[in-house]
Amino acid sequence: MSEFHSKIKTIEWQKTPEGGCSVMVDQTKIPHSFEYVEIKTIKEMYDAIKTMIVRGAPAIGIAGAHGCALLALELLEKYREENALEFIKELFEGFEYLNSSRPTAVNLSWAIQKQKEVVEYYKNVPGMTLKKLAENLIENAIKLENEDIEINKKIGDFGAEIIPKGAGILTHCNAGALATVGYGTALGVVRSAFAKDNTIQVFADETRPRGQGAKITTFELVKDGIPVTLLTDGMCSYFMKNKMIDVVVVGADRIAANGDTANKIGTSTVAITAKYYGVPFYVAAPKSTIDLSIKSGDDIVIELRDEEEVTIINGKRICAEGVKVINPSFDVTDNSLIAGIITEEGIFKPEELKEKLQK
Ligand code: MRU
């Protein structure tokens, strides 16, 4: 396997004498070009998340952690030691602002909360300075960044166990190296399975409206030499009926305590179809995507995005003026449709989550 994924990091903190910045792959340019952008302020990070330069729940989480560190660096210019309380107040206000950039993927608020805990802990440590506080936020962001890849490899290895020999694996959206710091969750399972059995193949839904499956999933699988066939959304029934799909593996943006799972719009349609044809449907996600504070999927806030994502393709309007559009970015797959949730601690049935993963 030519391991493209192991040569890149989707998002990485770049240290400089002044503290550093966040460097990320601009995912809006894939597959036409592969470019990195430097993000230097919290406002730039908010915009990068909102406009989906960085996307995918775990990658957004790390972007959030980086954004918190960037704000601390910015505030060092504004405050002196005697104004530490004002520094922390403005820092936490900035954390809230960053958290509002996209509502559904819980990894964002999870990572920001981790950064908040760093501030709460170190602010009372004797000899702490504002500069040291900022350095601690940078170190914690780098730690979360490195852990993400380790976690995804564990998810991949657990998940590979449920992939039958020579399987056709359907996935929806992009839960790959480019949706994480590296390796991927659903595509991490594919990568680990392919390392053991190079006769497996992937079927990737194009994932309208933004086309993450067509643009990003096919890009990274082709680069890694893993066979992939592109489906338009709505083709999965044909492929399942004709026994070309043996298993479905998708990522997740937020999993409720009962296992209901929010993922890219169209995921629940795939799950319902898979149930009909008896194809097992798995979710691959880190524990940071599991939100035990909410009972069910009914409590998950679904992001509504711009209607032009639906009405315009490549700069051209594809429908009549005056048509109504609603553009929910995610849907919730009912726990009854999910065979298992593949995490870094093993594979759990939806009803086991609460008991097994109580933090
Ligand atoms: O809107 P996006 O592209 O951020 O949505 C991404 C997804 O829905 C992914 O499947 C999910 O975040 C899992 S990524 C490992």
pLDDT for the residue 1 = 45
Q: Which residues are catalytic?
A: 253
Q: Is 179 in the pocket of ligand 1 (CB under 6 A)?
A: yes
For residue 60, give the ligand 1 atom closest to its CA.
4
Q: In what order do the strands lie in the sheet with 281-284?
A: 228-231, 201-205, 168-171, 247-250, 281-284, 340-343, 346-348
User: Quick one: the chain helix, strand, coil %, rounded to 5?
Assistant: 45, 15, 40
pLDDT for the residue 160 = 98
Taking 70 as the pLDDT cut, the residues of the chain under it are 1-2, 359
Q: What is the domain class of 153-356 according to CATH? A: alpha beta
Q: Is 57 in the pocket of ligand 1 (CB under 6 A)?
A: yes
Q: Is this model's pTM higher than 0.95 or not?
A: yes
> Judging by beta carbons within 10 Å of its beta carbon (0-12, 13-18, 19+), is residue 36 exposed, middle or buried?
middle
CATH number for 11-151: choose from 1.20.120.420, 3.90.1150.10, 1.20.1530.20, 2.60.120.620.
1.20.120.420
List the alpha helices (DSSP H) in 126-196.
Answer: 130-160, 186-196
pLDDT for the residue 309 = 98
pLDDT for the residue 271 = 98
Q: Where in the chain is the domain with CATH 1.20.120.420?
A: 11-151
Evaluate whether 140 touches 118 at the Cβ level (below 8 Å): yes
pLDDT for the residue 4 = 84
Q: Is 289 in the pocket of ligand 1 (CB under 6 A)?
A: no
Longest alpha-carbon distance in the chain: 70
Q: Where in the chain is the domain with CATH 3.40.50.10470?
A: 153-356
Helix (H/G/I), strand (E/B), else coil: 301? coil
